């Protein structure tokens, strides 16, 4: 299979904004909002107080890649416009139909193995945007990329549904435990 550099499939979006230009209750993402290895967000409710530092600007459908500790595979595709820490590299695919394929590829073992050789910094390991864009990614046919992307997005959607079910189960379990405590206390 053919491979290309990531930089041949995406552009790095280097647009940033100062804190005074970020509207209150905007979507502002930090590295802590991305679940390692899973490629999903723990979405914050927005901001309730002014942001303290310059943030990168992203658009819905951009790919955000965590450059700090990059082997944690913090890679997400937000479905809303917003702002993010400068520790996230904003990537915009040249072809929108490649977004979910690239999301999947950037989370792969193959990319993680390449990243190991490009990390700098011992206490705060990171990858530079230039090094990230130089990574080799597999590049199947357009139809295959679309199909892989469709399946990847479908699995992510299924994961989100499973998380909701698990949350409901946990809530029911806590309610049951509280009921059992009340019954026991009433019997004493």
pLDDT in tens, 149-165: 999 999 888 887 787 77
CATH 3.40.50.720 fits 3-187, yes or no: no
Which residues, listed in sequence order, are joined to residue 4 by a DSSP beta bridge? Answer: 137
Burial call 126-139: b when 16+ CB within 10 Å, e when fewer: bbeeebbbebebbb
Task: Round to the nearest angstrom and report the end-to-end CA distance of the chain.
Answer: 71
pLDDT in tens, 133-151: 999 999 999 999 999 999 9
Burial call 74-106: b when 16+ CB within 10 Å, e when fewer: bbbbbeeebbbbebbbbbebeeeebbbbbbbbb
- Give the whole-angstrom CA distance, residue 45 versus residue 65: 21
Backbone angles phi, psi at 61, to 5 degrees: 90, -10
- Give the whole-angstrom CA distance, residue 21 versus residue 101: 33
Q: Would you state the pLDDT for residue 134?
A: 97
Query: What are the boundaries of each domain within the chain?
Result: 3-187
């Amino acid at each position: 299979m053919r491979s290309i550099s990531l930089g041949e499939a995406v552009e790095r979006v280097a647009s940033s904004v100062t804190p005074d230009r970020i509207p209150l209750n905007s979507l502002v993402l930090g590295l802590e909002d991305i679940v390692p290895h899973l490629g999903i967000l723990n979405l914050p409710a927005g901001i309730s107080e002014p942001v303290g530092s310059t943030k990168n600007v992203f658009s819905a459908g951009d790919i955000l890649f965590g450059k700090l500790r990059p082997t944690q595979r913090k890679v997400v595709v937000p479905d809303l416009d917003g702002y993010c820490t400068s520790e996230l590299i904003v990537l915009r695919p040249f072809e929108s139909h490649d977004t979910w394929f690239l999301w999947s590829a950037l989370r792969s073992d193959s990319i993680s193995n390449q990243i190991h050789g490009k990390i700098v910094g011992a206490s705060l390991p990171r990858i530079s945007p230039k090094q990230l864009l130089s990574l080799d990614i597999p590049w199947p046919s357009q139809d295959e990329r679309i199909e892989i992307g469709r399946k990847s997005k479908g699995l992510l959607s299924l994961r989100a549904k499973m998380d909701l079910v698990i949350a409901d189960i946990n809530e029911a379990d806590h309610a049951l435990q509280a009921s059992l405590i009340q019954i026991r206390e009433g019997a004493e």
